[in-house]
Structure 1
Amino acid sequence: MKYIKSYILFFLMVFAVTGCTTDDLKDDVNDLKDRVTLIEEQVKLLNDNLAVIAYILDPQNKTIANVETPTKDQYVITLSNGEKLTLTIGKPGTIDEPEITIGEDGMWYVNGESTGVVAVGTDGKNGEGYPEFRVEKGKWQVRFGDGKWSDVEGGDVASGVSLGDQIFESAEVDGNKFIVTLKKDGSVHTLPIVETLKCIIDKSGLTLDKEDFLVVNRDERVIVPVQIEGENMQVTCPQGWRVTLNKLDVVDEKGNNYQLYIFAPVSSVKSMTRAVADNTADVTVQVQKGAFWAVDKIKVKVPKVYDNDWDKYNDGLPVTVGGFDISLDTYNAATEITEDYAITKAGVYFVSANNVTLTLKDNTMDNLIILPYSDKVTAINLNISAQLTVTNTFICKNVVFTSTVNNNILRFNGVNANVVFDGCKINGLKNTKALMVPQTAGTHNLNYCAIVNSDICIDESEADVINNASFALINNMDCSQLLFENNIVYGVHEVTSSERTTKHVVNFKLINANQRDLGLLQLNSNTFVDVETTGAGGVTGLVYAKNIEKIVMTKNLFHWTNPTTKFLDGNGKEKSSPTTLIFRFGENANLQDGNAMGSENYYYNGNSEMAVKLWYTSGGKPVCPSTLGNLSTAEPEIFDTNNKKTFNKSTGTFTPTANYKAYGAQR
């Protein structure tokens, strides 16, 4: 390619004219190698040949162990550290590539037009970067560094043409020497072949991060296999680290005959956590034979300690909320919010100040994720005044979620959507509505739903009771996994009629989906206060589904202060409802022993006329297996309802008595 040749010529020119050091030249070649991007198979040819050029200019104490010739014009070079380079003798291509030159003003020129980017460094410093090219929709495009791509004037690419490369004129193996000749200036380079000198750190079984670092926890040790041939072995490591090289009694199946023990710094020693330009993060092994040395390296670091999720996310690490991972690769760049803000588009938002109020200006979004910048942000206000439609993901953490929607609040119109509430306070939930519904039942579903560490207040009106209204967190949706843990759910209902009791809710459902399937249900360490599961419409249940594949239910508390024994039907007539229920399944549900596990679930019922059951019985036959256990009666009462400091619906405070402190939500 013309511009590759121009680069090489330019490097020689800079070396001769500006007096740059050999190190500057090596850095430029390595930087160029990282930036070259082209199209189709010739990309590999060019990059491979450029890697050979970089090795010729800077072997870095790696010798050639072997050279093979799989084809007439191709040479596979194996270095002493096991790395393989491929040199190909190219031929002219027929494509019209952009012409790259350096102007008298020291700027890069593309097809005779100045780019305004400095090419020639001064005082030993590099320029402003090298051009990178690609072909997009039949046109050449160029950018510098991480800048924007722009079309090259006169840069159309004709169809049916071929790329070519003429970096190398020739190459040959002559005894223990490998001789290559460059095309541009005819310079000859003779490289020694030292067959019995090896230093290969075997990284095949290691997990490296995106910067190719081996991450070792403080106070821990990692063992890395090494293959060595030669003498006078030496190892070095960064300050604070410790390494030893130990010979194996038996060579392993990969030919490794040594083990490198790498000890991370102890907790009291400071150590770098990021990649740096020098080699102080390298564990280096080197071995000698005569006048030659073979060297291999592995970069090491201890995990970075993050004090906020914003930096963690932007570094490409997952932020876990309610058991669900949120990463930059999946959800793209995030926005930081420092003050009251109107959200106008989908995305990830990190809030860095307490009590910021967010409102929604767009009520249809692909993803909406609202997270605290750090643990110091404990309250984020989100006001929803109109139904929000979500396609893929809705996640909130430490959010005070207040709805004034006279409708179902979240509508999901995607397949396998994900939703998480973690550490939230969910207010404004009214009977006759639901928190989550599908756009189309049976088509749109939840893949993962987690409601954890949250307070949920359901405010039921007198009219709701008369009209036999109900409220469900999830309504008429299939769900693959539902995690409901460490939550407080309570009902608020103020009435004056003597026919109904005050301050409780009837006909509440965690999931109301009698025609839908539920995969795994994890219902653990929750506190339910004054939320009854049945109404005048019949005996249903807190969880009402066609089928559930697996249930795990432990350490839940159910408390009804003064539950209802009579309801009014749609005609205003009294109708008895003597049972409140936790589970009801479809008649053909097939929950097997071993897939239902339950223990240490307690309830207190303030009205002996109302029965409390764990599951629905059909025709005298229980639908649930015996391994789910049963509910245990709490004696004495779970809460001291006369103590406003420990039982207060206005503040959402529910602290169990001493006998039950280990059960229910742990706050």
Structure 2
Amino acid sequence: MKNFKSLLPFLLMLFVWAGCDTDDLRNNVDELENRVESLEAQVSAINDNMNAIRVILDGTKTISSYTLENGTYTLKLSDGSEITLSQGNEGQIVEPDITINENGEWVLNDKVIGQATGNDGITPKFNISADKYWQISLDGGVTYDYVLDVNNKKVPATTGGDVSVSDAFFKEVNVKGDMLEVTLKDGETYSLPIVADLKAQIVDPAKGFKDGVWTIGYGETVTTEVEISGDNSFVTVPAGGWTATLSEVKDGKATLTVTAPAQASVQSRATADNSTELVLQVNKGINWAIDKIKVEAKLVVASYKALYDADQAINVNGVEISKAMFGEACSIESDTEISKLDYKVYFVKPGATLTYNAPTSVSAKSLIVIGDNSADQTAKVVLKNRIQLNMGSSPAESDGYYVFYNVNFDASSTTTPALLAYKNDVQDKAIVFDNCNLTLGNKNFFELTTDGRYFNSLTIKNSKVKLNNSMYLVHIDKNTSTKFGNLSLVNNVFYAEAVTSGNGFKIFNSTNATSSLDKLVLNNNTFVNVCPNWSGMYYQLSLGTVDLQNNLFWASTLPANGIILRPGNTKIAGTVCKHNVGFSLNANTNTWIAFFGFDDNKFEGAENIINIKAESTESAENPFVGGTFDLSTGTFVPNATYAEYGAKFE
């Protein structure tokens, strides 16, 4: 067995404040910053070296060229990628053992953690958690688990004592002739050929490529460029109907043409794991260079209207939208303003805008608007006036559906709420916003102010909602005795450009506890600069059950404690409240709280929000440092430590 011992130095560092004058304090701060920077550099070196080892074990690439600077090799590989490898410096460290057993599996502290060799091999990735313990990821940084020692205890990233920084993974790293040789601490040597003019690189496709996967519609033929240098080249495709060809190579480049299967194929479990990789191979003499790309065939709908006209049902969050149910639909080919509803279903072409400007005398018994192309989200709905929900006291089967899918919904300039329940009778069967970008203004989103006006089901999912902080998603005001149905907010981003003072944001607002909501689902949402005031995001009306989990609440400034739930009934016969995190700065004493008066009012098993504090938004404790934080596009992707929280979009 070839052991990879001590590839991962686990740094244990703790500084001690000494002295009390200003110079001592400044020196200690500088020392702390240097140690933190060293720790961050060490984590980076760990992951770079683990990646390099995995490349060497894989054996599908060669080195085209390399540079050496300050003990770090930068290797340009035959697939066009670059990796770094650092020998490092010896030091006193605490290090668990990482080995490879006779089955080619990674072994961390005597526990098998995954395959190291072969096509199914993985590259472990390491991280430091918010509570200062080491973590390991086996899925490329999507999720992390704590590293455990031989006693099944978490391994800390800080400790007392004189511990120096080290990233000495290898005994030696040398170039000998046309080979890069890496000698591990146990004396075992591995090598990777250095071969100039051998290259196999698949250029990332311009269309359909995201997160390492090339998505191609069933039966669709697409192309991308490849860069090739060598004697012979060929491409292999997954089983199940895929085909691919390479054009003639000119000036080191060729065109790769790929056709997806005409329909989904049924494959056995044994072949399914390898069925999504397309492989490009090039050789020069006895050496081979290989590049791979994951391909996925799925339904890409060029026109939902065409499906609808062909009597196929379109399912949006359980609502079956069909011509048999809703009748003829209207296609919005270019910018169009409507002041009356001649249809119940509208399909908006990419780039076109449907402007809704119906007077208050017009009510919608049903209104369904769908962006026509599934791969394009540029279809737009603009409100100049509110949409009045009124399916009537004797509704038809097709009445009561208000569905918006794959559109940009702009209600920023309305002088009234976007949605209004208009009569004191049955208002809806389902209200759904799915895969939308919503822009809201100063007015509330949905109002049901008169007693007896209610909704059965309101769902917002897989959407981005840009809003004014001081507004209410649902407002019932004088409604004093109505029982509402379900409110579900799942996998959304709610964000504002800045935190504002005033009444604060609420997902549901009432002035009394005599009305009630049957069920609230608040899962996997990201809230940025969206703060409730002391009264809470959910305020006053009674609540039946709640499912509150995996949400991320973020604000640099909290005008008051960020209370999420403050229902009229003190004790909720609730179901789930767990795995929620909230971020704010140390300078702000307010915190995020799941329930008003948490310990007194929580139901059994409920967990409070985990509060994360930092000195500044640039601090490592900020969940978006190392991720993406873009207010201009509403894109907020937390770093690996907090990847399980908040919204995730494909």
Which protein has greater RCO, CA pairs closer than 8 Å, 6+ apart? 2
TM-score range, shorter chain: 0.3 to 0.5
- Bigger Rg, structure 1 or 2: 1
TM-score, normalised to structure 1, is: 0.45
If each structure's strand is expressed as a fraction of its own residues, which one has the higher value? 1
